[in-house]
Structure 1
Amino acid sequence: MPPNTTNNSVESVSEQFQKLDLKTLAREKGNYQVYPRTNYPPLEPFEHYDPGKLADPKKASLYDNAERIFDLTPSIGTEVHGLQLSQLTDQQKNDLALLTAERGVIFFRNQDLDPYQGVEFGKYFGRLHIHNIVGHPPGLPYIASIFYNEQDPQTTKLFESRSADEGWHSDITYENQPAGLTFLKVSIIDTVPGDGDTIGGDTIWASAYGAYDKLSKPMQQFLEGLEAVHTGQVHKDNAQRTGHFIRRDFVDYVHPVIRTHPLTGWKGLFVQPGFTKSIVGLNRKESDVLLKFLFNHIAGGHDFQVRFKWTEDTVAVWDNRATFHCAIFDYFTSGRRHGWRITPTAERPYYDPNSKSRREDLAERAEKEANSQ
């Protein structure tokens, strides 16, 4: 039985009378998104049970059945070949949750997962989030659709006027209980010239564990115990710019600057330019200086980042509690992208003063293993 099943009040997938083929719809119609003027009530607190707690530390159900599993960088990013997410067993889902918590982001190419399967798959990992403003396919409010092309001058102008490093974020941290695992399937990549190679549109992920480990000890100690305000102001501004309806009020929430991951027990940095507004207890100038330093630290941390080149029908699974990500909008003159995202939510962020850094924990494990031989 999945750990998270009684969690969503919107109609179930079984009640959908006609399944949409989003890839075909996007190719034939273009931007099919709807923006219903639906009022949703405030999100209620809930007790999150992480399926990664049921995982095998060796993740044998994945490693014994995949054709190949390999790391993309020492710090973050792993690619899995030979498994279909649509066919994973419960134990494989549990092991995937732990693997993602440890490695930050996992990539699966050539996936047949459709949005209806994606909704059911996502429910296993947490209560699904319906976004306050973004568009979704008709009848599928849990799907956040992504569609960008060169024929949308308003979107092109918006992103070309922003510095790329402003795009770093972790998903929906302005919520009381933000995202845990997130799933994004990119199903259309059209580029010019059309020789089959992907041109542009990469996504970068950064490790929150690595970001913490690269700070000096005095800075780590200063940040531990501090809290920051997270806001959805950027989405409110976007709704005003586009005229889209805000379906649920945005409420600012306060979260720890250093967060402990419940599965790994590792400390990670938990601020980012997308949604972090200020540091609690510091005056405005102090807060701005500190946040600017931390934002630059994330953007410049190439030794704890992975840059991924998409291919059609690839799914990325990442843990927002342990990563930041940034989409690279460099393809507006050469093509379009389409994809869809599922966002399970997790526990309220917390800091455990007894938790360890990844570097510290792995060093202790290695020493213990060496002494036992």
Structure 2
Amino acid sequence: MNNWNQLLTQEQETLTTTQLATGFVAPVTDQGLIAFTGEESASFLHNQLTNDVEHLGLGDVRLAGYCSPKGRMLASFLMWRSEESIFLQLPRAIQPAIQKRLQMFILRAKTKPADATEQFVTLAVGGGEAEAVLQTWFDVLPAKPFSKIDHPLGTVLRVADAFGAPRYLWLASPETASTVAPVLKDRLLVGGNQAWRLSEIHAGVPQVGAGTQEQFVPQMVNFELLGGVNFKKGCYPGQEIVARSQYLGKLKRRTALASIADAAAVPGAEVFSPADPEQPCGMVVNTAPNGAGGVDALVEMKLEALEAGDVRFGSATGPALQFKPLPYVLDKLDV
């Protein structure tokens, strides 16, 4: 049954931040899902990822990174668990390669990864009206960001807030999605992957994809500020470099939120400072159309360029980035 697809996907439009802040629903179709099942799944992933997996509770949602031995991020995940499995959500475009790479290191560990993308319909719900609309079906919703509930109608993850309001991912069966779609469409503005990505950007949550793999140490994209790095856990690939960046103050780069008046801005594109026009000062991490002809973006850059406030897309004479406030404090590491 694809009534949910007919009722929601075909109604998608490019939503603005003002519309997102009011209330939106968006089928998320560009994200993949890997399920690790087996009694040693937690210990295996704990030794591979930047965050604590062994103490991941049934009510927890966490960000986690997967790094190369040089500490550069190969992928970023949204992570949660059920009684049977640990789930890693990541861009669908890089899922097969990342799943294959993780599987290479399983060896004798009692865990098995599987593509779980098609098991669920993933509906993003956010903005000021989100909570009231979801209470149509759920008496209790996750009380704080990065927590979840399990319910007969599916799993509801509360992720980082944006626009001063909660955001949720509802993982439902196709049958449930078909049942609830008319109400969601009637009470919320309907978007698609663009709406979800734009809300993620305004929540300050980066995602490593095909254009940015192996470009960033986690702190460069503010990952530890979002709880995506646990500095007390044991070793994982790249751990020494990630820890050194944190404690020795060698990181001189952060990620900012900005609007770019150029629809051609894509992840992996470079930005420049007029003070040093010959070499890039940073890189675009994520973008989404903002409904005004350009994009809103998370952009990683040198702290000195960010502090100067004059950063250009594409070249030192390109469109100027219009910086916007992040929803969290951008601590510096230049001690």
Q: TM-score, normalised by structure 1?
A: 0.27
Name which structure has the greater RCO, CA cutoff 8 Å, separation 6+: 1
Higher helix share: 1
Structure with higher strand content: 2
Give the TM-score, by structure 2 length. 0.29
